[in-house]
Amino acid sequence: MLWIALFTLQAPAAPPATDIYLADLRVASGRVSVGVPVNVTARPGYDNQPFFLPDGHAFLYTSIREDSQADIYRYDIEAQTSIRLTTTRESEYSPTPLPDGSGFSAVRVEADSTQRLWAFDLDGSRPRLVLDSIKPVGYHAWADGHTLVLFVLGSPSTLQIADASSRGAHGEVVARDIGRSLQRIPGRPSVSFVQRDSVAGPWLEELDTRTHRETKLVKAPPGADFFAWTPGGIVLTASGTKLYQWDPRRGSAWDEVADFAAAGLSSVTRLAVSPQGDRLAIVAVPAAR
């Protein structure tokens, strides 16, 4: 008897449909307050990974549109318009301004699915490799003008430091089994990241990129995945529809400062604070979807 096995090939799951919202942000007496969020990318599909430019007048973000490619866009806050910066056969993610202000870096998924870090001019032109031997890169942060901190995919994922002044630099592994959120800490040569621990749970930690010393900061709230710092040193994170703050000068407790459910948001994930500390970008799923 001949047995015929039938297999169904499944395409990779599409990224979730998300929008980016903008809200006014204020800090008074160590307490964060947030205005009403406004949806600035209201359309079907994936709009995510906002990062403000240094002047705070615009932010970069990743968008997937009809061609199914992830490209980098710039949203101008005053003009309320988006401009496409990259139009490539590859996909680009996680746009991050270069420390010297001359352009931005992004993770490019190349034609053979290799994920490496590339740099572009501010208008999306002149793509060039930043680091050619470190892969697959998932996320990154600039600690200073030449020091990169990278989330490198693997089993487990690793936190690596590399000197971007040499394209052939190799990464030094400084932590393993980390979360996806890498953020430069204002005012010092450090980056925050989440250290996962099967016993202690996830902790937000600080990495001094000069000494490579790691310091535990605070335990992450349940369901929180992404974090952002205000210029004054307050940490923001979200879980569900709620926004929380942690001020290291006020103890170890997270305080709820907003609930975006009334504004029609659900599944809040990424956050970005403007360099001036006056605006908050919020990635969420509109509740009606």
pLDDT in tens, 163-198: 999 999 999 999 999 999 999 999 999 999 999 998
Q: Positive or negative, the Cα torsion across 278, 281, 287, 289?
A: positive
Return the pLDDT at 287.
74
Could you say which residues of the chain have pLDDT below 50? Answer: 1-12
Return the pLDDT at 8.
36
Task: For residue 273, give the nearest of 219, 192, 206 by alpha carbon.
Answer: 192
Return the pLDDT at 252.
80
Round the average pLDDT of the chain to a whole number and report it. 93
Backbone phi, psi, residue 229, to 5°: -110, 140
pTM of the model: 0.93
Looking at the DSSP bridge assignments, the partners of residue 22 are 38, 281
- How far apart are alpha carbons 119 and 247 in whole angstroms? 34
pLDDT in tens, 105-131: 999 999 999 999 999 999 999 999 999
Return the pLDDT at 110.
96
Which residues, including other chains, have CB under 8 Å from residue 244's CB and lie 6 or more apart? 221, 224, 236, 237, 238, 254, 255, 256, 257
Which residues, including other chains, have CB under 8 Å from residue 119's CB and lie 6 or more apart? 98, 103, 104, 105, 106, 127, 128, 129, 130
Return the pLDDT at 204.
98
Return the pLDDT at 186.
95
**Domains assigned to the chain:** 19-286 (2.120.10.30)
Q: Of all residues in the chain, what percent are helix, strand and coil, respectively (each to 5)?
A: 0, 50, 50
